[in-house]
């Protein structure tokens, strides 16, 4: 993780584009902010600005070929691990399309595939290449995976045409890189709890009551917080997802177990800084779970199932939250904001993230969602965003609140 590096290193990828010369200015701006910059170039990039220029500017070797450094025998891995942020500026259509497809045919693309560092991409190209379906599809895929695209500007292009495709101003690219660097450590020393996934309430050894929650939202938030230095305890109901990187993951089955583990996490660490309740907790459990498998009754006969209400994990913990910042989630079908605000007050949360599950274009199965961040005083909508971008935005908000 990036937290291993005392001095942040920005890895700057330069591809074969006339705007490559602007990357020199980007190096200077970042250096003035005490950031170490290392440059990796594609062979085409090195045709536009020579590696010697970047070597002189950065006072570092420029990475060009997969096996060109005797001190780094697996060069793409050492570069990938060293980077706190990887910014590709300018990024050509060719490199963007390769990144989306996972092609690793030069040191820059291989490093991009190998790194855990946040990826920022500043495209620059001809307007028709920018509008091309392949390019736009690749950009959409990269955004979904968490890459930030620093949108090009409209203007007079090197090819003589006028339209979108001109590299964003280097000051804007530098600001995005610096913001991402700040993010990389802004939760250091903080303790967070995340609940995620569905719960299961067994009727008998073979059957249970549950729901369709995938757990993705909670896992994505947990991973984002851990990446930014937080000590994260993730308490998860049954999901098919692997444990997120850098978190302590505790697997539970029922709502009661989730409550017990959450209570322990609240007390064990001498208080939490924030708790984010994304779990789709079953509202009810059978009054009496059967020890043996229930046998089928005659066709058409009625069977009664007595259910009791489960404890509300969020409300139970928020009642003694101390200084912890409490975030709840609310999936609603009508009066979204009003219903969310009701939950905010009833459960004593500080923020409710509400979303409209009646809209089929977003929600459980979609890669995108639109969240409404509801507090006692304000409501703020995120607009439609990839789930990773939403997680980043929510963690940004939590960082501000617990400062």
- Candidate residues 190, 343, 388, 392; the one interacting with ligand CTP per rule CB under 6 A: 343
Per CB under 6 A, 329 contacts ligand CTP: yes
Size of the site for ligand CTP (CB under 6 A): 15
Window 219-278: residues binding ligand CTP (CB under 6 A)? 255, 277
Which tokens belong to 48? 């536009």
Per CB under 6 A, 92 contacts ligand CTP: no
Beta strands across the sheet bearing 119-123: 36-41, 9-14, 85-91, 119-123, 148-149
CB 114: neighbour CB atoms within 10 A? 17
Per CB under 6 A, 87 contacts ligand CTP: no
Which candidate, 84, 116, 115, places its Cα nearest to that of 10?
A: 84
Per CB under 6 A, 140 contacts ligand CTP: no
Per CB under 6 A, which region of 119-127, 158-166, 184-192, 306-314 contacts ligand CTP?
306-314
**Nearer to ligand CTP by C-beta: 11 or 279?**
279
Angle between helices 107-114 and 93-101 (to 10 degrees): 40
Per CB under 6 A, 328 contacts ligand CTP: yes
Window 148-207: residues binding ligand CTP (CB under 6 A)? 195
| DSSP codes of every residue in 29-75 | HHHHTT-EEEEEE-TTHHHHS-HHHHHHHHTSPPB-STT--TT-SSH
Q: Shortest Cβ distance from residue 352 to ligand CTP (Å)?
A: 7
Per CB under 6 A, 326 contacts ligand CTP: no
* The residue to which tokens 């008998």 are assigned: 204
Q: Shortest Cβ distance from residue 220 to ligand CTP (Å)?
A: 15
Per CB under 6 A, 23 contacts ligand CTP: no
Per CB under 6 A, 341 contacts ligand CTP: no
**Nearer to ligand CTP by C-beta: 58 or 310?**
310
Q: Shortest Cβ distance from residue 346 to ligand CTP (Å)?
A: 8
Which tokens belong to 260? 């017990």
Q: Which residues are catalytic?
A: 159
Which tokens belong to 384? 């439609």
In angstroms, the Cα distances linking 243 to 96, 149, 174, 287, 395 are: 29, 27, 33, 32, 19
- Which residues would be at the binding site for ligand CTP (CB under 6 A)? 195, 255, 277, 279, 281, 283, 310, 312-314, 328-331, 343
């Amino acid at each position: 993780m990036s937290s291993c590096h005392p001095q942040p290193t920005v890895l700057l990828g330069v591809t074969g584009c006339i705007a490559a010369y602007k990357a020199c200015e980007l190096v200077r701006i970042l250096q003035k902010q005490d950031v170490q910059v290392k440059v990796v170039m594609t062979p085409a990039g090195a045709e536009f600005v020579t590696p010697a220029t970047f070597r002189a500017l950065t006072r570092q070797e420029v990475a060009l070929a997969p096996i060109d450094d005797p001190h780094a025998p697996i060069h793409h891995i050492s570069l990938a691990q060293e980077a706190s942020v990887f910014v590709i500026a300018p990024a050509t259509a060719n490199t963007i399309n390769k990144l989306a497809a996972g092609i690793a045919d030069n040191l820059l693309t291989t490093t991009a595939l190998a790194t855990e560092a946040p990826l920022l991409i500043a495209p620059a190209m001809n307007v028709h290449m920018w509008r091309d379906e392949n390019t736009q599809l690749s950009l959409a895929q990269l955004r979904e995976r968490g890459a930030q695209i620093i949108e090009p500007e409209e203007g007079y292009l090197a090819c003589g045409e006028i339209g979108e495709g001109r590299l964003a101003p280097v000051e804007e690219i530098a600001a995005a890189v610096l913001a991402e660097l700040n993010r990389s450590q802004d939760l250091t020393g903080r303790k967070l709890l995340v609940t995620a996934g569905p719960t299961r309430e067994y009727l008998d050894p073979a059957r249970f009551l549950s729901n369709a929650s995938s757990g993705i939202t909670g896992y994505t938030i947990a991973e984002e917080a851990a990446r930014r230095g937080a000590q994260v305890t993730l308490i998860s109901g049954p999901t098919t997802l692997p444990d997120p990187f850098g978190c302590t993951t505790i697997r539970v089955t029922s709502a009661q177990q989730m409550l017990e583990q959450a209570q322990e996490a609240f007390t064990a660490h001498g208080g939490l800084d924030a708790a984010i309740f994304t779990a789709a907790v079953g509202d009810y459990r059978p009054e009496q779970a059967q020890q043996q498998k229930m046998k089928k009754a005659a066709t058409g006969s009625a069977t009664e199932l007595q259910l009791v209400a489960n404890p509300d994990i969020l409300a139970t913990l928020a009642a003694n939250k101390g200084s912890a910042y409490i975030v709840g989630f609310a999936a609603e079908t009508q009066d979204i904001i009003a219903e969310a605000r009701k939950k905010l007050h009833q459960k004593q949360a500080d923020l409710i993230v509400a979303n409209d599950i009646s809209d089929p274009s977003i929600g459980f199965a979609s890669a995108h969602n639109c969240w409404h961040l509801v507090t006692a005083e304000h409501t703020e909508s995120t607009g439609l965003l990839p789930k990773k971008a939403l997680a980043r935005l929510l963690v940004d908000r939590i960082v501000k609140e617990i400062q």
